[in-house]
Amino acid sequence: MALLPEPIPVHVLSPFSQAFSKMRMKAYAETHLGASGLRFKENLIKAFIEYVRSQDEICCGRPEPSPEGIVVAWWKKQKHRHIAGLPQGRLYPKLKRRSHESAYLAEVTCHYITDKDADLNLIQKKALQRWEKVKNELMDSMAIKDASLIADGHGIIQSVISIFNDLFLLGALRRVKFDWIREAEGVPDMALGYGSDSSIQLHPTSLNSDPEVSLAVSRLSTLLHEMIHAFLAQFTCSSCKKLWHGRDWQVLAKRIEEVAPGLLGFRAALGRFDGLIYDLKHGIEKLPSMHDVLHYNFEQVLPTDELYGEGAPSKLVEDIPTKLVKSRRLSW
């Protein structure tokens, strides 16, 4: 009998929730009736940036990545372990579970991620070759409404996890089991994915509400989203671990979004903005600094202005409000 997933914590809405309602109203006011949902999303991101700028004097600072050892806890007298180097002769850097400073781990991993052929190491080149062999068939098979009906779906997703692990996560992610989220297990229908240091689950039918995103791309983007959570959960030390959508998760997700079109052949949308908004509304994360928000560049996953013209295949702005945070992550 399969074990049930850990109970999903219930979080009380924070004061930010009321402020976000005002941002949404402002975005509506600035979006013409009948305009695309993407235009509304763009205006909402702008309203959020304006809010962060107005609150910047009270935002907490974020630790900068540092190769120097940092004491994890004064009573343990233990220092972070730092990565000796990027993969060259060996398959992956030697990482120790729950031992690395999160900002430094994110920085090194971002340096590893590249879409330039000349900079790909051997393990990445082999992963890319594997992806090219399965990409077309995979995208077709994952385009059905209920992904749990895919023949050998578990095996297919496990192989994709292996490919993405080698391409983006130093080839270091270990022993992560995949399964489909089952509503009978108590996971809300709104949850697109669930991730931990030992498992990744995707909802077989619940998808990103963006009409521009295909079923296959939505599922693969959610898979990447959860893989980053699993990676940080495995290798970040307990003292500085950030389990939700904070700075270290954001910079890794942003970097993958940047290179995905060149490597994978599609524009990945990892739900960075919606994830952060959910965390802020429920008091899980503190408001980021203006510097961090500008660095996150949430607009990078939105299509160019040409897609906002007449005939753009998108939902009307009236349909958007109840689905803004659908890509949030409900685990941890």
Is residue 156 a part of any domain in this protein?
yes
Is residue 41 a part of any domain in this protein?
no
Q: What is the pLDDT averaged over residues 189-202? A: 70
Cα separation, 235 vs 99, in Å, equals 6
Question: Structure tokens of 324?
Answer: 């803004």
Q: What is the DSSP string of 112-135?
A: H----GGG--HHHHHHHHHHHHHH
Task: Render pLDDT for 31-89 as a digit per residue (tens, 0 to 9).
Answer: 877 666 788 899 999 999 999 999 876 555 444 444 444 333 333 434 666 665 554 44
Is residue 328 a part of any domain in this protein?
no
Q: What is the pLDDT averaged over residues 12-22? A: 86
Is residue 233 a part of any domain in this protein?
yes
Residue 72's domain spans which residues? 59-270+285-302
Q: What is the pLDDT averaged over residues 308-325? A: 33
pLDDT given at position 320 = 29
Is residue 21 a part of any domain in this protein?
no
Is residue 30 a part of any domain in this protein?
no
Cα separation, 107 vs 102, in Å, equals 9
Question: Structure tokens of 27?
Answer: 């975005």
pLDDT given at position 330 = 36
Residues 6+ apart with CB under 8 A from 8: 186, 187, 188, 191, 330, 331
Number of domains in the chain: 1
pLDDT given at position 78 = 46
Is residue 275 a part of any domain in this protein?
no
Give me the percent of the chain exceeding a pLDDT of 70.
Answer: 68
pLDDT given at position 299 = 86
Is residue 245 a part of any domain in this protein?
yes
pLDDT given at position 316 = 32
Q: Which long-range contacts (CB under 8 A, 24 or more apart) does 135-139 make?
A: 135/264, 135/265, 138/216, 139/214, 139/216, 139/217, 139/266
Among residues 125, 126, 103, the alpha carbon closest in space to that of 114 is found at 125
Q: Is the pTM of this model over 0.75?
A: yes
pLDDT given at position 83 = 64
Residue showing tokens 């809300």: 188
CA distances from 306 to 32, 43, 214, 217, 300 (A): 16, 16, 19, 21, 15
The DSSP element (H or E) to which 232 belongs, if any, is helix 215-235
pLDDT given at position 99 = 76
Three-state SS for 75?
Answer: coil
